[in-house]
């Protein structure tokens, strides 16, 4: 009797497993993926344990959409099922953003904020000592400072990602503006150098500023392949020419050194233009 019962239970188990397997097989790969992610993943378990109404409702909405996708697929509405599956995944991603970040992730975000803030400050300081600032530039500077203040408020509220997004935009704008400022004819024409030494000092500072833009541009624009090779070629050439200018200055030929410095700066400018900075 016991053997018969065991055989019956085994048969029932196999039948149930076959039904479940057939049910899974009936669903599309996308819905199967969504089902596993929304029901069994570590992220789903963490959301279930998160004691907030917002997270609970977001997860429930994602799972409701998933069930609607399953039903639509069973009814032969493959296109509707795919659309609902996508919505379920999108809602789940939205819910996952409500999870608290690990301390290591927060540390990286805080470090990035400090780096961005310091970079922007160094550019804005350049304008504080610039011999000429146009009205448009001043307006852009004021806007940048306002955005930096907004980012600081977000940072102090532990909203690091939002703060970093603002600072990244500001840095891009400031880099482009500084690049334009250093090539502006208004600035050059407004300067009246009393001695060759003064003009050399100006060209030296201008060359240093362009050189400082190079690693930032490479990081921000991330050139690859032939574009990267040409970018680096311009940068190397600029450095070689700068070394030549330094030797000319040390030898007392200041006027030649000025012209050579300008050539070096032109190579940095070509490198920046190569990656899309005008």
pLDDT of 245 reads: 96
Q: How far is CA 6 from CA 2, 3, 95, 140, in A?
A: 6, 5, 45, 80
C-alpha 270/C-alpha 230 separation (Å) is 10
Whether residues 38 and 90 share a domain: the answer is yes
Whether residues 81 and 21 share a domain: the answer is yes
pTM of the model: 0.43
Whether residues 92 and 107 share a domain: the answer is no
Whether residues 246 and 263 share a domain: the answer is yes
Whether residues 175 and 210 share a domain: the answer is no
Is pLDDT above 50 for 12? no
**Reported confidence tier of residue 25, pLDDT bands at 50, 70, 90:** very low
pLDDT of 11 reads: 46
pLDDT of 129 reads: 64
**Reported confidence tier of residue 21, pLDDT bands at 50, 70, 90:** very low
Whether residues 108 and 178 share a domain: the answer is yes
Structure tokens at 14: 């196999």
Among 76, 96, 116, residue at a domain's last position: 96
Lowest mean pLDDT among 16-20, 30-34, 37-41, 190-194: 16-20
Lowest mean pLDDT among 100-104, 195-199, 205-209, 271-275: 100-104
Comparing CA positions, the residue from 65, 2, 80 lying closest to residue 34 is: 65
Q: Which of the pair, 6 or 70, is modelled with greater confidence?
A: 70
C-alpha 270/C-alpha 232 separation (Å) is 11
Comparing CA positions, the residue from 27, 98, 96, 23 lying closest to residue 66 is: 27
Whether residues 161 and 121 share a domain: the answer is yes
The SS3 of residue 140 is helix
Whether residues 278 and 207 share a domain: the answer is yes
Among 41, 61, 96, residue at a domain's last position: 96
The answer to whether residues 116 and 160 touch, using CB atoms and an 8 Å cutoff, is: no
Lowest mean pLDDT among 29-33, 87-91, 101-105, 124-128: 101-105
Whether residues 42 and 56 share a domain: the answer is yes
53: containing domain: 2-96
The answer to whether residues 2 and 56 touch, using CB atoms and an 8 Å cutoff, is: no
Whether residues 208 and 174 share a domain: the answer is no
Whether residues 205 and 259 share a domain: the answer is yes
Q: Where do runs of H (alpha helix) occur along the chain?
A: 2-26, 29-40, 42-49, 53-74, 78-96, 103-128, 135-156, 160-183, 185-190, 196-221, 225-250, 254-274
Lowest mean pLDDT among 13-17, 43-47, 113-117: 13-17
Q: Could you read off the pLDDT of 209-262 as tens digits, one per residue? A: 888 889 888 888 888 888 888 899 999 999 999 999 999 999 999 999 999 999
Among 96, 129, 150, residue at a domain's last position: 96
pLDDT of 223 reads: 86
pLDDT of 256 reads: 95
Is pLDDT above 70 for 31? yes
Give me the number of domains the chain comprises: 3
Whether residues 41 and 16 share a domain: the answer is yes
The answer to whether residues 81 and 72 touch, using CB atoms and an 8 Å cutoff, is: yes
């Amino acid at each position: 009797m016991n053997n018969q019962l065991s055989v019956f239970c085994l048969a029932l188990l196999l039948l149930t497993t076959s039904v479940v397997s057939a049910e899974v097989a009936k669903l599309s790969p996308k819905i199967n993926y969504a089902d596993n992610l929304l029901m069994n993943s570590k992220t789903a378990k963490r959301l279930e344990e998160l004691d907030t109404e917002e997270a609970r409702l977001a997860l429930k909405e994602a799972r409701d959409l998933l069930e609607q996708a399953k039903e639509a697929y069973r009814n032969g509405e493959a296109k509707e099922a795919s659309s609902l599956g996508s919505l379920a995944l999108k809602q789940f991603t939205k819910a996952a953003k409500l999870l608290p970040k690990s301390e290591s992730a927060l540390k990286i975000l805080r470090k990035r904020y400090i780096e961005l803030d310091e970079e922007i400050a160094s550019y804005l300081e350049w304008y504080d000592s610039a011999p000429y600032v146009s009205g448009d530039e001043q307006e852009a500077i004021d806007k940048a400072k306002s955005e930096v203040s907004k980012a600081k408020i977000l940072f102090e509220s532990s909203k690091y990602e939002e703060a970093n997004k603002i600072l990244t935009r500001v840095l891009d704008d400031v880099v482009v503006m500084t690049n334009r400022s250093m090539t502006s004819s208004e600035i050059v024409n407004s300067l009246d150098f009393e001695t060759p030494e003064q003009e050399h000092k100006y060209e030296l500072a201008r060359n240093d500023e362009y050189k400082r833009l190079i690693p930032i541009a490479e990081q921000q624009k991330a050139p690859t392949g032939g574009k990267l090779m040409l970018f680096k070629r311009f940068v190397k050439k600029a450095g070689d020419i700068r070394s030549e200018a330094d030797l000319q200055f040390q030898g007392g030929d200041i006027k030649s050194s000025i012209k050579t410095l300008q050539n070096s700066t032109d190579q940095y400018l070509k490198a920046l233009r190569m990656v899309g900075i005008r």
